[in-house]
Structure 1
Amino acid sequence: MCSERAPDDLTARARIRDAAIRLFADRGIAGASVRDIAQEAGVSSGLLRHHFGSKEALRDTCDEYAKARTDQFREEVFGGKLADPGFLVSHSPEMRLLQRYLVQSIKDGSPAASAMFDQMVDLGEEWTVKTGVQTQDPRAYGAVICAMQLGVFLLSDQLSRVLGVDLSSTEGYVRINRALIDVAANAMLSPEQAGYLHTAMDRLLTEPPQEASSKE
């Protein structure tokens, strides 16, 4: 559930929203019908349309809610909750669902999800500058970090196969996040190696290679 309250305590509108988030996360917007969502929420299709008008309007509401909850969670974590394992564990089910939902929304071409990715890149760039990360291009650095994090979940089927564990399970989620933590904590290149590669990139800008010609 996207709410910490029991289902019986939720309003019909909130139950419909939560049901839609679950089904959109699993199937995408095209794969979840109004009837499916209503059935999942335990309401009639007519009541769903009364509250939201259309499936597209419902998706917009879900996007807004997912963004607001994710922003709130991020602020709480970096506002002092990072050192509290209990906080992270208790919020894990909801955040994992919203994460899957937002990844699926990006795949579906949701404007709100795309806007959220832009915001993530802005925050990544701001963090890069604030923490003094050594990079010639803070904007690109922040964008790549965001793309790497989302890419893990966009490739969940492939990663599940090679790791032999379903990434949607708790075991898979923990395993992949441990790897992300370790990647962030350990540099993969020495300063010397990074310097060599940056020099090569500089030369690509000043000395573009000739286009490869096919050999007869």
Structure 2
Amino acid sequence: MRTASEDLTTKARIRDTAIGVFGSQGFTAGVRSIATAAGVSPGLLNHHFGSKNGLRTACDEHVLRVIRESKAASSAPTGMMEQLARIDEYAPLVAYIVRSFSAGGTLARELFEHMVDDAVRYIDDGVRDGRFTPSRDPAARARFLTRQNVGGLLLYVQMAGPDVDFREALSALGDEITLPALELYTDGLFTDSQALNTYLEART
């Protein structure tokens, strides 16, 4: 007969295995393949989680908890995933997060809002200490930057193909966009404020 502590350990192992399988194969991966990877029977998996949906919910909750508690998470708009991707034990979580953004759902929405909140605080700090220029709508600017960065990441990963290494992809994407991003943020794109003024006049 299994003890409660053994059941807890087995449940955590199944959950962690599922995060890895979902991250590498996507959410079409079946219960049987996850159970095989975890070294348990499909029946034991269902005993702990009830169903594939129950397992997915447990995975979502665990990933969110790790993100919130992790000391590695940066407050910059995309820094969180870049920091986590550099730590081997978090690599499956990064893959799972990217798959979740592609699939949508509760985790994607909550994680995106978490990233936006971090971006708001990060940029506000920069405005106060003089690193960043103020915005007419700080929350909208933070949301725009976060959406652009997450969207760019998803497109990059999608074009890399099904066998993408998420750690390598994040590193390569960072190398590719750092110079143009810094140039754009530092020097700007337009040579004058005509487009902005026209928009503001039309909006009012």
Q: Which residue of structure 1 aligns with residue 78 of structure 2? A: none
Post-superposition shift, 1:144? 2.4
Q: Which residue of structure 2 aligns with residue 213 of structure 1? A: none
AA aligned to 1:21 is I
Q: Which residue of structure 1 aligns with residue 143 of structure 2? A: 143
**Which protein has greater RCO, CA pairs closer than 8 Å, 6+ apart?**
2
State the number of aligned residues: 182
Q: Relative to 1, partners in 2 of residues 1:183 and 1:26: Cα closer, same or farther, differing over 3 Å?
A: same
AA aligned to 2:35 is A
Q: Which residue of structure 2 aligns with residue 7 of structure 1? A: none
Note the 1:142-161 alignment, pairs <5 A. 142-155=142-155, 156-158=157-159, 160=160
Q: Relative to 1, partners in 2 of residues 1:172 and 1:42: Cα closer, same or farther, differing over 3 Å?
A: same
Separation in 1, partners of 2:37, 2:142: 38
Q: Which residue of structure 1 aligns with residue 47 of structure 2? A: 50
Separation in 2, partners of 1:169, 1:127: 25
Q: Relative to 1, partners in 2 of residues 1:53 and 1:96: Cα closer, same or farther, differing over 3 Å?
A: same
Q: Which residue of structure 1 aligns with residue 9 of structure 2? A: 11
The yes-or-no answer on 1:70 pairing with 2:67 is yes
Counterpart selection for 1:175 from 172, 176, 183: 172
Q: Is this contact kept in 2: 1:19–1:40, CA < 8 A? A: yes
Separation in 2, partners of 1:93, 1:78: 17
Q: Is this contact kept in 2: 1:70–1:95, CA < 8 A? A: no
TM-score, normalization by structure 2: 0.74
Q: Which residue of structure 2 aligns with residue 102 of structure 1? A: 97
RMSD of aligned alpha carbons: 3.0
Q: Relative to 1, partners in 2 of residues 1:59 and 1:171: Cα closer, same or farther, differing over 3 Å?
A: closer
Q: Which residue of structure 2 aligns with residue 129 of structure 1? A: 124
Instruction: Give the gaps of 5 or more residues in structure 1.
Output: 1-9, 80-87, 209-216
Post-superposition shift, 1:50? 0.8
Cα offsets for 1:10-52 (capped at 9, x unmatched): 92112211111112112322x1111111111110011101111
Cα offsets for 1:147-175 (capped at 9, x unmatched): 233223311132x38xxxx7516544422
Percent sequence identity over matched residues?
A: 31
Separation in 2, partners of 1:137, 1:207: 17
Q: Which residue of structure 2 aligns with residue 32 of structure 1? A: 29
Post-superposition shift, 1:101? 0.8
Separation in 1, partners of 2:105, 2:191: 39
Q: Is this contact kept in 2: 1:70–1:98, CA < 8 A? A: no
Separation in 2, partners of 1:205, 1:89: 39
TM-score, normalization by structure 1: 0.70
Q: Is this contact kept in 2: 1:128–1:141, CA < 8 A? A: no
Separation in 2, partners of 1:76, 1:171: 18
Q: Which residue of structure 2 aligns with residue 114 of structure 1? A: 109
Q: Which residue of structure 2 aligns with residue 23 of structure 1? A: 21
Q: Is this contact kept in 1: 2:94–2:166, CA < 8 A? A: no
